[in-house]
Amino acid sequence: MKFTCNRDMLAEGLSIVQKAIPSKSNYPALECVLIDVSEDLILTGSDTDLSITYQVPVMIIEEIGTALLNARVFYDIVRRLPDIYVTIETQEKGGNLIVNSGKAHFEVPTINPDQYPKISFLSNTEDNVLELPAATLGNMIKQTAFAASQDSARMILRGVLIENSGGLLKFVAIDGYRLAVKTSQSAYQEEFRIVVPAKVLSEMAKIIEKSDKNIKFCFSESQVMFFNDSFSLVSGLLKGEFPDYNMLLPKEYKCVMSVKNQTFVDTIERVSLVIVDDKKWFVDLTTYPDQVFICANGENGKSHETVPADISGQEVLISFNVKNLIECLKAIEKENITINFSSEKGPCVINSDEDSSYFILLMPVKHKSR
């Protein structure tokens, strides 16, 4: 095997496939990146649950072949090479991978590529493939995956529900305190419900963050695959019954508040500076006709501040976990938001008139007396 390519493009590909490669494994081959050179240069990383392949543009291919070597070591070498171009080849004897760039020369041990596990990528046709702009998919992930459970005993809550029905594609995540629902128009005719690990989708969002290409995905009973011309990502699906989130939505509201989002966030962050342990101490909101009173009582003292707001309905005194509240507000990314309070003990719904495709449900906590 011998080829020459751009150092930065190779480093980018390695950084992407490394998202699927465990730093430590009982099976050494899984700590490696598979390099496959034929008509193209293909990098592969996998932990068997998540697998990623990435095609790196190559300038010259002199000899085809494969090599398997430690991914972290190879990535650290490539990104520090002195020249923009790098030539890589395998030794006929000794089994080392030779890396030359400028005056830098490395000989890196490899292992037998036959030890690498076989990866099953899904077959795809136009009939079973959904296609979305990268920005749309990335935004749907960003606005929902944060609300998936981090440590729930129910594995299904660690995932994001992807649901297609009635011409709408929905991403839904819930952790018991927050529910996030993002909707997009869909031309895909078949109805389906799958649950993808939130961690996988978050990595997916990082991969496509700067892409201007469309992203396609297809699925089977046990796997989902996201792909375009440059990469493929395949992951197992989560099994189980995803909660009926529609049952959680309030039917009526006691109070409705409209407020400038950034001003509201800045004030909450400032007031909550007295809180160290946000699981024991909370931020309190009290609504008045033209303002909301925000206060906190924490380990480092007390604080309060008011923010102008357009408020209708009854007065509400309600408390929230400050971390959950701020994450929800920042996820909306609109200038103006509306918070619909069902009661002082019931869930509130946060949305924006600027984006009817997105809302968050947030549960309050039992407030302490001031």
pLDDT of residue 125: 63
CATH code (residue 157): 3.10.150.10
Q: How far is CA 358 from CA 331, 347, 355, in A?
A: 10, 16, 6
Residue 290 burial by Cβ neighbours in a 10 Å radius (0-12, 13-18, 19+): exposed
Q: pTM of the prediction?
A: 0.91
User: Is residue 303 located within the same domain as residue 240?
Assistant: no
Tell me if 150 is assigned to some domain: yes
pLDDT of residue 152: 67
Tell me if 367 is assigned to some domain: no
Tell me if 300 is assigned to some domain: yes
User: Is residue 152 located within the same domain as residue 91?
Assistant: no
SS3 176: coil
Q: What is the C-alpha separation between 106 and 349, in angstroms, rounded?
A: 57
User: Is residue 241 located within the same domain as residue 253?
Assistant: no
pLDDT of residue 63: 94
User: Is residue 314 located within the same domain as residue 345?
Assistant: yes
Q: Which residue segment(s) compose the domain that 20 sits in?
A: 2-115
Q: What is the C-alpha separation between 340 and 96, in angstroms, rounded?
A: 63
Axis-axis angle for helices 7-17, 71-79 (nearest 10): 150
Axis-axis angle for helices 322-332, 261-271 (nearest 10): 160
pLDDT of residue 258: 97
User: Is residue 234 located within the same domain as residue 133?
Assistant: yes
- Cα dihedral sign, 14-16-17-19: positive
Tell me if 281 is assigned to some domain: yes
Please list, in sequence order, all residues whose beta carbon lies within 8 angstroms of the beta carbon of residue 207, skipping any fewer than 6 positions away: 16, 19, 52, 231, 233
**Which residues of the chain are under the pLDDT cut of 70?**
94, 125-127, 152, 367-370
User: Is residue 171 located within the same domain as residue 273?
Assistant: no
pLDDT of residue 370: 42
User: Is residue 74 located within the same domain as residue 146?
Assistant: no
User: Is residue 215 located within the same domain as residue 320?
Assistant: no
pLDDT of residue 195: 97
Tell me if 120 is assigned to some domain: no
Paired strand residues for 217: 130, 226
Of 57, 91, 115, the position where a domain reaches its end is: 115
Tell me if 20 is assigned to some domain: yes
Of 115, 147, 176, the position where a domain reaches its end is: 115
pLDDT of residue 119: 86
Of 115, 134, 161, the position where a domain reaches its end is: 115
User: Is residue 131 located within the same domain as residue 237?
Assistant: yes
Work out how many domains the chain is built from and give that number.
Answer: 3
Tell me if 332 is assigned to some domain: yes
User: Is residue 188 located within the same domain as residue 269?
Assistant: no
User: Is residue 137 located within the same domain as residue 64?
Assistant: no
Residue range 286-307, pLDDT digits in tens: 999 999 999 999 999 999 999 9
Task: Identify the CA nearest to 21 among candidates 41, 47, 2.
Answer: 47
Tell me if 369 is assigned to some domain: no
User: Is residue 228 located within the same domain as residue 280?
Assistant: no
pLDDT of residue 187: 87
